[in-house]
Amino acid sequence: MKIIVTGAGGFVGRHLVAGLLARGDTVVGIDAVAAGIPDGARKVVGDIADGTLQADALQGGCDALVHLATVPGGAAEADPARSRRINIDAMYDLLERAAAAGNRPRIAYASSIAVLGHPLPATGVNDDTPLSPELVYGGHKAMMEIAVAMMSNRRMIDGISIRLPGILARPKGPSGMKSAFMSDLFHALQAGEAFTCPTRPAATIWAQSVAQCARNFIHAIDCDSSRMPPTRAVTLPALRISMGELAHQHGGACGRNRAPVRCLARSGKLATRPAAGSCIRDLSAAVCRRCIGCGFCR
Ligand SMILES: NC(=O)c1ccc[n+]([C@@H]2O[C@H](COP(=O)([O-])OP(=O)(O)OC[C@H]3O[C@@H](n4cnc5c(N)ncnc54)[C@H](O)[C@@H]3O)[C@@H](O)[C@H]2O)c1
């Protein structure tokens, strides 16, 4: 298959492009920065909002397009106009161009659980949970989920939006993501360094490994879209865990349970005893109560 991946040099993009190349797909990788795009992909470097760049990447059409490039949550909140330009206008143009190139391509769109607002219900969510974004980022993701559904209903594209939880563990360094502290905990524990958590110990996060995330996108490229809900959007199964439990479990794996992990929101060490019921099965059960056989949990 010929697959275009935007944000191909980013955290998720690199893993996904490597997986697609390994199974023999032809990949066109778009990114503002060339360095991260894996070798083997045709590299299209520049701003996704540039129409000439979009046309270049879409030359000859494609079977599928995975849209990952984004202005992330923290950066979108700081600069809503930029978020609108990239996360809405540039994506809308790209979808229209992909549709015009023909073949009704499969679009796999990286949405986010931020469309569901904050905090997420402790009882879990399913595909019927109403959209209630609070952040600019989540609002713009929700708007583009609707664009994907509308263009799919008009048979311009064959789209699927997948709502990602926090993907772990992203490389160290600035990302503009509000959720980057989850990954920073991993790096601190591995290095035996002090870590100050910005949340309460009992605050829960919803997470998924980057390897599973890349597999989910490959499944979103291949799966039978006629089984998708009318919204064309699915919320992925995720690991729901408290920051205290994550510190305990990952600290144990690193042999660093005594690492100085402190919490800004409540002084003192993070809880070291696992909280009851924070298990991947909890959320999978909630999400899959009305299984449509999408296979995302496998
Ligand atoms: N990582 C997470 O925890 C998480 C959680 C929920 C949703 N998501 C979504 O998944 C997608 C991928 O996330 P990620 O962690 O790989 O992000 P990332 O920031 O690591 O990668 C994004 C890539 O897009 C590129 N990019 C950004 N703006 C661009 C532009 N205007 N033109 C061209 N390239 C541009 C960046 O250079 C970067 O390489 C994003 O859409 C994000 O909103 C991620």
pLDDT band at residue 79 under the 50/70/90 scheme: very high
Tell me the mean pLDDT in the region 173-190: 81
pLDDT in tens, 126-153: 878 899 999 999 999 999 999 999 999 9
pLDDT in tens, 105-125: 999 999 999 999 987 777 778
Within a domain: residue 185?
yes
pLDDT band at residue 261 under the 50/70/90 scheme: low
Please indicate, yes or no, whether residues 34 and 127 belong to a single structural domain of this protein.
yes
Please indicate, yes or no, whether residues 143 and 273 belong to a single structural domain of this protein.
no
Please indicate, yes or no, whether residues 19 and 85 belong to a single structural domain of this protein.
yes
Please indicate, yes or no, whether residues 122 and 265 belong to a single structural domain of this protein.
no
> Would you say the CB of residue 274 lies under 6 angstroms from ligand 1?
no
Tell me the mean pLDDT in the region 67-91: 97
| CATH code, domain with 180 | 3.90.25
> Would you say the CB of residue 283 lies under 6 angstroms from ligand 1?
no
Within a domain: residue 298?
no
Residue 6 pLDDT: 98
The count of structural domains within the chain is 2
Pick from 218, 235, 252: which residue ends a domain?
235
Residue 293 pLDDT: 42
Within a domain: residue 133?
yes
Within a domain: residue 297?
no
Amino acid at position 2, single letter: K
pLDDT in tens, 272-290: 333 333 322 333 333 344 4
Pick from 220, 235, 250: which residue ends a domain?
235
What's the whole-number average pLDDT of the chain?
A: 84
Task: Say if pTM beats, i.e. exceeds, 0.85.
Answer: yes
Residue 27 pLDDT: 98
Within a domain: residue 267?
yes
Tell me the mean pLDDT in the region 71-85: 96
Please indicate, yes or no, whether residues 202 and 282 belong to a single structural domain of this protein.
yes
Please indicate, yes or no, whether residues 98 and 130 belong to a single structural domain of this protein.
yes
Within a domain: residue 295?
no
Please indicate, yes or no, whether residues 159 and 255 belong to a single structural domain of this protein.
no
Burial of 80 (0-12, 13-18, 19+ CB in 10 A): middle
Residue 259 pLDDT: 52
Counting ligand 1 atoms within 8 A of each CB, the residue from 48, 50, 164 with the most, and so the one to mutate, is: 164
pLDDT over 70 percentage in the chain: 84
Within a domain: residue 88?
yes
Within a domain: residue 296?
no
Please indicate, yes or no, whether residues 10 and 149 belong to a single structural domain of this protein.
yes
Please indicate, yes or no, whether residues 173 and 137 belong to a single structural domain of this protein.
no
Lowest mean pLDDT: which of 45-54, 210-219, 262-271?
262-271
Please indicate, yes or no, whether residues 119 and 184 belong to a single structural domain of this protein.
no
Please indicate, yes or no, whether residues 177 and 93 belong to a single structural domain of this protein.
no
> Would you say the CB of residue 11 lies under 6 angstroms from ligand 1?
yes
| CATH code, domain with 26 | 3.40.50.720
> Would you say the CB of residue 91 lies under 6 angstroms from ligand 1?
no
Given a cut of 90, whether residue 240 has pLDDT beyond it is no
- Distance in Å, CA 12 to ligand 1 centroid: 7
Residue 184 belongs to domain spanning: 168-206+239-290
Tell me the mean pLDDT in the region 245-274: 57
Please indicate, yes or no, whether residues 81 and 215 belong to a single structural domain of this protein.
yes
> Would you say the CB of residue 143 lies under 6 angstroms from ligand 1?
no
> Would you say the CB of residue 160 lies under 6 angstroms from ligand 1?
no
Q: Whose CA is nearest to atom 12 of ligand 1?
A: 68
Please give the residue that has the higher pLDDT: either 86 or 199: 86
